[in-house]
Amino acid sequence: MAKTTALQRMKKALKIDEHKLDKFLAYYYENAALSDDDLKMLEKYRKAWSFLSLGRTYDMALAMLMKDYKIQERQARYIISEASYLFGHVQTIDKQAKKMASANYFRLLSNIARSNGDIEAASRAWERADKLEGLHDEDKIGLNPDDFLRAAKFIFTDNVNVLIQQQKRADDE
């Protein structure tokens, strides 16, 4: 019996407490004040996440946190997982960041080509940048006007039993 409670306590201790991170989310969304200890912890979260978002491996980020803050590996793992909860997963953000970096690169190439007098190359590079940013994509609207042009099917009947059955279905709902 004692082993079960110890196991339950251990599982509870190893789980990320999402309510613990609410104060950090409130700091970003509502400009709530943080204590000095919380600001130091936020710095650790930022450093871990920025290190991962720069393309470093998980093990490199782990070693960096352990070295810089003189903490154990388990604590560093917690910091990394909580940072991904706070700031988002790096893989999703990494794809968006690469897309924006490519768009900025094409804009830079466009400016260089324009300064050299090559207007066609400048316009092609600028169009590629716009395409990467999705400026030429159609906006998706929830309603399709073609749906309203379809003819509706109406069935007329003089059978009273059909009306009674429909009223029973409506009452049941």
Helix axis angle, 90-115 to 36-53, nearest 10°: 60
Taking the alpha carbons of 122, 124, 130, 135 in that order, is the dihedral positive or negative? positive
pLDDT tens digits for range 46-65: 999 888 877 788 888 899 99
Distance CA 97, CA 71 (A): 30
Task: Record the pTM.
Answer: 0.47
Report helix, strand and coil shares of the chain as percent, to nearest 5: 75, 0, 25
DSSP letter at 54 equals: T
Distance of CA 140 to the CA centre of its chain: 20
Q: Region 38-48: what's the mean pLDDT? A: 91
88: left (phi over 0), alpha (psi -120 to 50) or beta: left
Distance CA 155, CA 137 (A): 42
| pLDDT at residue 129 is higher than 80 | yes
Distance CA 111, CA 121 (A): 10
| pLDDT at residue 30 is higher than 70 | yes
Cβ atoms < 10 Å from Cβ of 30: 7
